[in-house]
Each structure stands twice: as structure tokens, then as C-alpha cells.
Amino acid sequence: MNRPLGRMIAVASGKGGVGKTVVAAGLAQAFARRGERVLLFDGDLGMANVDVQLGLTPAADLGAVIAGRTPLDGAISPAMGGSIRASRGGFDVIAGRSGSGALAGVSAEQAGRLATALSAVSLSYDRVLMDLAAGAGPSLLRMAAAADDVLAVVTSEPTAMTDAYAFVKMLRMRDEGAAPMVAVNLAESRAHGERVHEGFAKTCRSFLDFDPAFAGPIRRDPAVPASVRRQQGLFEHAPDCKAAADITAMAAALAGATAVRAA
Ligand SMILES: Nc1ncnc2c1ncn2[C@@H]1O[C@H](COP(=O)(O)OP(=O)(O)OP(=O)(O)O)[C@@H](O)[C@H]1O
Ligand SMILES: [Mg+2]
């Protein structure tokens, strides 16, 4: 990675179930452990699950915001180790509404308003991670476009590759200047992750005339599903596991790109 990285990072994938929430929540924890003030935003408006994955019971959620009952900053809850200001490693969350499907029908216009409000709230943080839904529909693309950077999560599965490719294509059709980076999840090894990225990048170069940067690999690790089952953050459950090491390295690489901008 050799270009400046922005404050707000959207995590998308095209295909469902490839690890967007694991990556977004993991990076939120990793950036917080680096001492950054972090907000994790559950932008999976149809089937929110950041709160479930992290075992949170937020007082307010995006349902109330969309209904106009709460301003966006009224839906901020502390996660893991208390408020961001209370302890190193803690961060803030804006939760969706798990499983209700209440936010599934959010229009691109409503998504745009939410994105604008999030941009304003983001000014109080060093880093905002936006966990997006699967797919590449107009509302999702509108949310992704509000971010400074987009991280596309792929795996070696052909369907994950084709769906991530479709997402990248749609994003760049909407915004020619969009330059999503690629994170390879469920890699069998770091080298395997690099090969998967190279294969994906080759397709993008051939058909989109675009060369996506590699944000890094995350290895397949049984500690990940175990932490999800326990509804604990990965760094709480198994701070020394392989996947946590990879997410820590990814956050360091991304933060390093920020430092380049600051210089
Ligand atoms: N590196 C990993 N190693 C092992 N298992 C993993 C890894 N990453 C994700 N998983 C497993 O995959 C499951 C799906 O991950 P996650 O919920 O993050 O996907 P998602 O892309 O957010 O899905 P959705 O599209 O439904 O929002 C997790 O519950 C976890 O068990
Ligand atoms: Mg998810």
C-alpha cells in the first residue's frame, strides 16, 4: 500500500458470509489497540449483526435513527472495555437492528442521509469502520461511496471472486476514482493469500484497467468461529491467534499508509 488512507473505511465483498463483519470488527479492535479513537458502524442495513457478533446490547440502534427518533450520535454505544475514552482497546459502535430486517428497505436517498450524518460523526474519531451488507445495490454503493477507502473482502472461492469483482466494477462505474483495496480472508497461508490477491488483481487489470492494492491476508483460524459463537471480540477471545495477528498486521499496514499522508 503506498497511497494515503482515509479516516472512514467501508468493508464490502459482494458475496455474503466471506468475513466482512469479522474483518470490520477485527480492524476496529486492532486500531483501538493501537490507541486510535474508533467507531464501528453496522452498515449491513438488512441483517445487522455487529452487536450479535460482539455480544452487545445497545440501548439505541439505527432503527431509531432511520425512523427519525434519534440523531445518529444518539445511537453510539461503547463496546469492549468501555467507552473509547475510558480505556485503550475500547471503541464505540453504532449497531443495526439484528434480524428484524427493518432496515432492509432503506432507499438510496435514506442511505445517503445516513452516510452524510456518519461523515459528520466521523470527525470525532481517528477511524471509522463501516461493515456493509453483501451485494452491490444502490443503497450499499451509496454508503460505500461515502467512505474514504473501501476494503473488498475476498476468499479463494470462485463465487467470492466473481461477486467481489462485480462489486468493484459497480463501485468504479459509480465513481471512476474509487480504488478499493483487497483483503483475502480464509487464506490457508499468508503466501496463499497473496496468490489469491494476485489472481483477483489480474482479472481487475484485464477487464477494468484497475490494479487493486493488497491490504493483506487473514488466515483461516478456528479461533474466529469460536469467538463468534461466544459473542466475544476476537481480540478478547484469542488475542494471540493467527487471525488476530493477521488483522493486527493489516491495521498496522493501513495505519502506516495514513502516516505517509500525514508526513
Ligand atoms: N479467518 C477466518 N477463519 C475461520 N472462520 C472464519 C474466518 N473469517 C470468518 N469466518 C467464519 O465465517 C463466518 C462468517 O463471517 P462474517 O459474519 O464476518 O461474514 P460476513 O461477510 O459479514 O457475512 P454476511 O454477508 O452475512 O454479513 C463467521 O461466523 C466465522 O465463523
Ligand atoms: Mg456481516
Please write the tens of the pLDDT for every residue from 7-29.
Answer: 999 999 999 999 999 999 999 99
Locus of grid cell 438510496: 108
Topology (CATH) of 14-43+108-257: Rossmann fold (3.40.50)
Euclidean distance between CA atoms 9 and 36, whole angstroms: 14
Please report, for the chain, the start and end positions of each structural domain, with discontinuous segments joined by +.
14-43+108-257
Judge if the beta carbon of residue 98 lies within 6 A of ligand 1.
no
Question: Does ligand 1 come within 6 angstroms of the Cβ of 149?
Answer: no
List, in sequence order, every residue forming a beta bridge with 40; answer none if it has no partner.
93, 129
Distance in angstroms (rounded) separating the CA atoms of residues 58 and 128? 18
pLDDT band at 57 (very low <50, low <70, confident <90, very high): confident
Of the residues 44, 224, 235, which should be mutated to test ligand 1's pocket, given the most ligand atoms within 8 Å of the CB? 224
The reported pLDDT for the residue numbered 201 is 98
CA of 93 to the centre of ligand 2 (A): 14
As a whole number, mean pLDDT of residues 68-84 equals 77
Q: Rounded distance, CA 89 to CA 151, Å?
A: 22
Top-confidence residue, 80 or 261: 80
Please tell me the distance between residue 19's alpha carbon and the centre of ligand 1 in angstroms.
3
Q: Minimum-distance ligand to the CA of 14?
A: 1
Q: What is the mean pLDDT of the chain?
A: 89
Supply the pLDDT for residue 49.
81
Q: Tell me the angle at which helices 158-174 and 190-208 cross, rounded to the nearest 10 degrees.
A: 50
Q: How confident is the model at residue 84 (pLDDT cuts 50, 70, 90)?
A: very low
> φ and ψ at 101, to 5 degrees?
70, 5
User: pLDDT per residue over 222-233, tens digit each?
Assistant: 999 999 999 889
Residue 52 has pLDDT above 90, yes or no: no
Rg of the chain over all Cα atoms, to the nearest angstrom: 17
Q: Which amino acid is at 140?
A: L
> Residue 35: how many CB atoms within 10 A of its CB?
11
For residue 227 and ligand 1, the question of a CB distance below 6 A is answered with no
> 3-state SS of the chain?
CCCCCCCEEEEECCCCCCCHHHHHHHHHHHHHHCCCCEEEEEECCCCCCHHHHHCCCCCCCHHHHHCCCCCHHHHEEEECCCCCCCCCCCEEEECCCCCCCCCCCCCHHHHHHHHHHHHHHHCCCCEEEEEECCCCCHHHHHHHHHCCEEEEEECCCHHHHHHHHHHHHHHHHHCCCCCCEEEEEEECCHHHHHHHHHHHHHHHHHHHCCCCCEEEEEECCCHHHHHHHCCCCHHHHCCCCHHHHHHHHHHHHHHHHHHHHHC
pLDDT at 30 over 50: yes
- pLDDT exceeds cutoff 60 at 115: yes
Instruction: Compute the distance between CA of residue 148 and CA of residue 178 in angstroms, rounded to an integer.
Output: 9
Atom of ligand 1 nearest to the CA of 15: 25
Lowest mean pLDDT among 40-49, 108-117, 141-150, 192-201: 40-49
Is the pLDDT score of 172 beyond 90?
Answer: yes
